[in-house]
Structure formats: structure tokens, C-alpha cells
Chains A and B, each alone.
Chain A
Amino acid sequence: MPKIVQCELCPNGCVLDNGQHSRCRARMNKDGILYSLVYGKPCAVNIDPIEKKPFSHFLPGTTAFSIATAGCVLSCKFCQNWQISQARPEDTDTYDLPPDEVVRKAIFYECRSISYTYTEPTVFYEYMYDTSVIAKKYGVKNTMHSCGYINEKPLRKLSKYMNAANIDLKGFTEDFYNRICNGSLKPVLNSLIVLKHENVWLEITNLVIPTLNDDMKIIKEMCRWISKNLGSDVPLHFSRFIPHYKLNNLPPTPVETLTEARKTAMEVGLRFVYIGNIRHEGESTYCPKCKKMLIERIGYFIKQNNIVNGKCKFCSTSIAGVWS
């Protein structure tokens, strides 16, 4: 009797015969039932500044209890965490950390939030979901850094417990997603819209890779899409590429390219555009009205914060975000 199953978590839609693993390596068909192989078994556990995720408008200056398991739904050639994202769960060293223990540790270490990050949290959906439910009960916030490559139904279910999401918009062409990430763009755009509709605080990261996705025309098109579909208050982070994994042949992103991308995004109307992975004035938050510096950042550290009750201290303009 055939025991074939189909995973309906992400757009890959893996069809698995008995004993087969999913593309993300975190799921397996055992006798006609699909199991998660990573539930309660994170391979990375850290306490990070929330700025590292990166979030610039979500509880600045707080820490996030951060977890990840092995696996990813995509296979980006530039992955910064490929040692764990492209590994099989059995090939990584793991901790035994059930959901209630994650929340207990987050509270013990005075973390305001739990962050599902490093690899792709979609692959440990069940673990993330169960942890989020418990965390919400105890007043700990939930955040994720994801590639947004997830089906609408599971994303909507998760959104009830997710307070903030940083989604990687890795490029703005299907060709880039096909060739470099082995995925597609459309589901990511849909996830961004779903998260916005579900009132999850949203920030976007775009890793600018020389020659692959640094065309200013396409960056402009991407910023227009963000402004039109998600609003001009969504923070956009242009992140500097450092040669890694299968793209060791490319140089790091020149600072001028990042500065130009930021300028382009602001010309299109986006109010909060950041530059990451490099020391730059674009790390800080500025008031869109009076242009004064609101949050001065140096790397992940905050030097000054001039946002009071969600408003600019100088001109009282409301600044979009989750501030307390």
C-alpha cells in the first residue's frame, strides 16, 4: 500500500514516499505520516540584541532569546549560515530545549522577545508555533527573521502569535530567485502582504550583492512595490554582502552602492531606510519630518534614543513601530 504524503508548509510542496526527507531536510515521511525531525532540538541558541535581527523599530535596546534548528526551504548561494541551514539535523549538535523551556529561559535571562532566526524558521514551524503560543501567554513577544517562503495558511495561523517579522526580500526578479536561491519571488511578495494584513510589525532586509541584484532600476522598482503594497513606514534594511559560501568570487558590496540604494529608496518615498553590516550613518533612525537623529546606532548598540512614547522628542511626529 503506497504511503505517499505531500508537505503543504512551503511552496516547495515536497511529495515524499515512505522514508524520504523533505528538501528542507527537517521533515520525513515515516510510514505515511509526516514528522518534524527538529522539534525541540535547536542547533543554535543565543541571546542577541534585537538590532542584530535586524529590527530598528521593534523594542530597541532589548535582547531577544534566539533559536534555530538545522534546515532551510531555499538554498541561496550567498547564505551566511550555510553550515547549519544546509545541514541535515543529524549532522548538527543540538540542545534538548522544548517550547516551555525556551520561554522559561527567555524570562530567566530577561529577554523581551524570542526570535526564530539564523536559519529558516519555516522548517521548524511546529516548534516555533508551540513556543509562540506559550510565550504569548507569559507576555514574551515573538519575532522571526524569515525568507517568507511559506504558504499562506500556515503563515496566517502563525501570525496570531507573531509580533514582528523581518523578511528577506533577496531580490526583485524571478530570475534572481530561480538562479541564486532555487526558489521563486511571488510567494515571498504574498507573505509580505499577508503579514501586513495580519498586523505583524514588518521590516524588510535586502542583501545587495554586486552584479547580481544591485541594479538601481530594479531596486527602485522594489521600493515602489513596497511603498504601494506595504506602506512607506515599513523599514527597509540594505545589507552589505560579504563573500561567502558559493559566492566567494564576488567582492563585498561597495559603500557607494549601499548609499545609492538608500537614496533611491528614500526618493521613492520610503521613510525609514537603513544600511547594515557596515558602520554608516544609515544605521541610525531619523525623524522623517524634522530630520533630526532619533536613534543613534553603532553596530548593534544604541548610543541615544530620542523617541518618547512613540513620538519624535523634537517635533512630536509619530514614528511607526513597537516601542514599548
Chain B
Amino acid sequence: MLTRREFFRFFLIGGLIHLFKKKTKAEEKPKEAMFWRKLD
């Protein structure tokens, strides 16, 4: 059986990993297209 302390520890670690993944994804640069030109 998980104790309450263990449960909250896992909950907290899980949350932190999730936030870290979200931050990494948000920082991903969009891919620049290959065939285009500026018109101005």
C-alpha cells in the first residue's frame, strides 16, 4: 500500500515531468518552409 506521503511524492514528480515536457515542446521552433521567396 502507498502511504499518503509516497502518493503525493509521485504526484508531484509526475506533474513536474509533465510541465517540463510541455515547456520543451513549446520551445520547439517551427520548421521553416523550403521553397518560398520574399516579395517586398
Query: Contact residues of A with B, CB < 8 Å?
Result: 1-9, 15, 27, 30, 32-37, 39-40, 96, 125-127, 129, 151, 153-154
Selected from A4, A5, A33, A126, the residue in CB contact (under 8 A) with B34 is: A126
Q: Considering the complex, which residues of chain B in the window 1-26 have a beta carbon less than 8 Å from any beta carbon of chain A?
A: 25
Query: How far is A6 from B31 in the complex, measured between Cα atoms in Å?
Result: 16
Number of A-B contacts (CB under 8 A): 58
Q: Is B35 a contact of A7 with CB atoms below 8 Å?
A: yes
Selected from B25, B30, B35, B40, the residue in CB contact (under 8 A) with A125 is: B35
Q: Is the interface of A mostly helix, strand, loop or mixed?
A: mixed
Selected from A15, A32, A39, A154, the residue in CB contact (under 8 A) with B31 is: A39
Question: Which residues of the other chain, A, contact B39 by a CB distance below 8 angstroms?
Answer: 2, 4-6, 15
Query: How far is A8 from B38 in the complex, measured between Cα atoms in Å?
Result: 11
- Size of the B side of the interface (Cβ < 8 Å), in residues, is 12
- Rounded to whole Å, the gap between the CB of B34 and the closest CB of chain A is 5
Question: Which residues of the other chain, A, contact B38 by a CB distance below 8 angstroms?
Answer: 3-5, 32
Selected from B30, B35, B37, the residue in CB contact (under 8 A) with A39 is: B30
Question: Which residues of the other chain, B, contact A6 by a CB distance below 8 angstroms?
Answer: 36-37, 39
Q: Is B32 a contact of A34 with CB atoms below 8 Å?
A: yes
- From B33, which residue of chain A is reached at the shortest CB distance? A34
Question: Which residues of the other chain, A, contact B35 by a CB distance below 8 angstroms?
Answer: 7-9, 125, 151, 153-154
Q: Is B33 a contact of A35 with CB atoms below 8 Å?
A: yes
Question: Which residues of the other chain, A, contact B32 by a CB distance below 8 angstroms?
Answer: 33-36
- From B25, which residue of chain A is reached at the shortest CB distance? A96
Question: Which residues of the other chain, B, contact A30 by a CB distance below 8 angstroms?
Answer: 30
Selected from A5, A9, A37, A154, the residue in CB contact (under 8 A) with B30 is: A37
Query: How far is A56 from B37 in the complex, measured between Cα atoms in Å?
Result: 39
Query: How far is A35 from B36 in the complex, measured between Cα atoms in Å?
Result: 10
Question: Which residues of the other chain, B, contact A153 by a CB distance below 8 angstroms?
Answer: 35
Q: Is B40 a contact of A1 with CB atoms below 8 Å?
A: yes
- From A39, which residue of chain B is reached at the shortest CB distance? B31
Selected from B25, B31, B37, B40, the residue in CB contact (under 8 A) with A126 is: B31
Question: Which residues of the other chain, B, contact A33 by a CB distance below 8 angstroms?
Answer: 32
- From A38, which residue of chain B is reached at the shortest CB distance? B31
Further 10 A-B residue pairs, CB within 8 A, beyond A125-B33, A127-B31: A6-B39, A7-B33, A7-B36, A8-B37, A35-B32, A36-B33, A37-B30, A125-B34, A126-B33, A151-B35
- From A2, which residue of chain B is reached at the shortest CB distance? B40
- From A14, which residue of chain B is reached at the shortest CB distance? B36
Query: How far is A7 from B33 in the complex, measured between Cα atoms in Å?
Result: 8
Query: How far is A36 from B37 in the complex, measured between Cα atoms in Å?
Result: 14
Question: Which residues of the other chain, A, contact B31 by a CB distance below 8 angstroms?
Answer: 35-36, 39-40, 126-127
Query: How far is A314 from B11 in the complex, measured between Cα atoms in Å?
Result: 68
Q: Is B33 a contact of A3 with CB atoms below 8 Å?
A: no
